[in-house]
A and B are shown apart, each in its own frame.
Chain A
Amino acid sequence: MANEKSKVILKTEALTKHYGGVRALQDANFILHDAEHVAIVGDNGAGKSTIIRQITGVEIPTSGKIYFDDNLVNFKTPLDAREAGIETVYQNLAIANDLDVPSNIFLGREETYFNLGPFSFLNEKKMLDKSSGVLSKTGIKIPDLKIHMGNMSGGQRQCVAISRAASFASKLIIMDEPTAALGVQETAQVENIIRNLKERGIPLIIISHNLRQVLELAEKVFVFRQGRIVGTLETAKTDGNEIVAMITGVKEGTHDNATHS
């Protein structure tokens, strides 16, 4: 393991998810240490997104345990995970195009003047001010925050989504193929934000098909195949060929955490 002494942020034990007869995830033992950036790679249907959905409370695991920040957790909804300090960035689905930037950044946790349950009055000004702060912290320039996000480029929208995650995540950020829909320049911008997070010491899990990106941004790679973690590699000691061989099953990997410890 890269960093034996640093604190474990996230650990899963024998995490399993079945959709009817489909075994999407089998006995996954995943581990993430503080300030660590790790990548998850694998072919389509290998279980990458499935494990993320279990960790973030979007779905409830069939069996297995998740430890987050030293506690056994049992997230029932995405909100539970967010409240625990986990923020997730999705490839394309987490932005409401008909809302403006502050509304999207604060979606689900709006700033209000006084609490009247679902009828609380929004403090638009506070959200706007905070949004400018959030975006400038991640180095993103959006001229007008009040235009609705459908009028922005894919890169701008993804940067807003990442800024949102970065500003709220107290403990962990998860990114599910954050640059899959982006152009070269926009991808570079997103990667810069990720490096920025590394400097700030926020741990990150990134799912990516882009091996160059994985080797550049992560210290450790978890390779998934057919619902199982088939190997973990340190990016400093591996290359794209070895990862591809493991993804396709040509080479059997070793997985440090395969046994319960």
Chain B
Amino acid sequence: MQLTAETNSSKDPMSNQITSDGNSGTFRAIYRKLPTEFGIFLVFIGIGLFFEVLGWIFVGQSFLANQQRLIIMILQMAIIGIIAVGVTQVIIMAGIDLSGGSVLAFAGIVAASLAQTSEYTRAVFPSLTDLPVIIPVAVGIFIGVCAGFVNGSIIALSGIPPFIATLGMLVSARGLARWYTSGAQVSFFTDDFAVIGSGVWPVVIFLAVAFLFHILLRYTTYGKHTYAIGSNEEAARVSGINIKKHKMLVYMIAGGLYGLAGVVITSRALTAQSGAGIMYELDAISAVVIGGTSLFGGKGRITGTIIGVCILGVLTSGFIFLRIDLFYVNIVKGMLIIAVVVADTYRHKRETKKDE
């Protein structure tokens, strides 16, 4: 949305069936009828083709037509994607959540400790091995929900800015992950637990989560209130929405998704370590913002976030493919985020200026 701010500013962020007057040029009219994500999607395609061309020139092979690379790329995106879905709803509510990566690590290592097989003699809890797979999964998600509960409570009850509250959680949850096993890795899982992250399962889980939250945000009161709080918190309050309760709910659900991401990444790596998911929260936030969700709240969709996640995934794989050092990809990502936020701020200023 940011990338196409000029032509799309009059559109409803939640609905693409608007047909404003289409008299101002055929191209404009057609463009307005397209979903707001279309512009970002074009950027995604553009980046993919850009690496394809560079691939043939510099590496002598195709970037896209390589099954193994695509699979690695998609799997990498799936974990970030699950976090990004949680972050999307938080940012739509005009909040921010920096705790994703750390909560993922803590939830992952706790889940791992309950997913070990009895064949391994030095399990974290020797009496708690060979548990049914539902237990580590549920506990992992529950740990995330608890972290979200702490975030949400601090934000809703004390009025501390979400940036600070979740920054605290970013540090604390990482500390908890280290403390839990004194820094040791946890591995040797039951076969059932290992299935979760194997094959295409992470992608299936990501898509299921994305679909579920698309529905929740678009068609339920949960979504409506999330957009309303992000759009105008005061209006939402005097309309009788319980702001504190809703904020806590949103942060708890986001936390639950980080927990789920922790379970998936642990199962996929077949080992849990306290250093898992470092900087994932920033990748997720970047994906959300690139996908058109406004940091000012009230605007954004899951479909945009999916495309945002894909753009980040393609950028990272593209740089690896061209055998360029990964620090360059960080530089490019950083610049991309700044550009997107500048566009968002510019549009927000223009829209609020019109009001006065």
A residues apposed to B, CB below 8 Å:
56, 58, 77-79, 82, 88, 90, 93-100, 103-104, 107-110, 112, 116, 118-122, 124, 144, 146-148, 150-151, 154
Interface residues on B, range: 35 or more
Q: Which of B12-20, B68-76, B158-166, B329-337 contacts A (4 or more CB under 8 A)?
A: B12-20
Provide the residues of chain B in CB contact with A154, threshold 8 Å. 355
Write the nearest CB–CB distance from B353 to chain A, whole angstroms. 12
Contact with A along B9-52 (1 / 0, CB 8 A): 01011110110100000000000000000000000000000000
A-B contact pairs, 24 of them (CB 8 A): A78-B238, A79-B240, A93-B232, A94-B232, A94-B234, A94-B238, A94-B239, A97-B232, A97-B355, A98-B227, A98-B299, A103-B228, A104-B235, A107-B224, A107-B236, A107-B239, A108-B240, A118-B220, A118-B246, A119-B220, A120-B221, A122-B224, A124-B219, A144-B20
CA distance A122 to B225 in the complex (A): 11
A7 to B191, CA, bound (A): 75
Is there contact, CB below 8 Å, between B221 and A93?
no
* CB of B207, distance to nearest CB on chain A (Å): 20
Q: Is the CB of B231 within 8 A of A96?
A: yes
B202 to chain A, nearest CB (A): 25
**A122 touching B18, Cβ below 8 Å:** no
> Given A119-B216, A122-B221, A148–B232 Cβ distance below 8 Å?
no
Q: Whole-angstrom distance from the CB of B165 to the nearest CB of chain A?
A: 22
Whether A96 contacts B232 in the complex (CB less than 8 A), given A110-B221, A122-B224, A150-B351, comes out as yes
Cβ–Cβ < 8 Å partners of A148 in chain B: 12-14
In the assembled complex, the CB of B348 is this many whole angstroms from the nearest CB of chain A, namely: 11
Q: Separation in Å of the A33 CB from the closest CB of chain B?
A: 26
How distant is the Cα of A115 from the Cα of B20 in the complex, in angstroms? 34
Instruction: Find A78's partner among B14, B239, B354 (CB 8 Å cutoff).
Output: B239
Which residues of B (238-285) have their CB < 8 Å from a CB of A? 238-242, 246, 249
Query: Chain A residues with Cβ under 8 A from B56's Cβ?
Result: none
CB-CB nearest in chain B for A82: B240
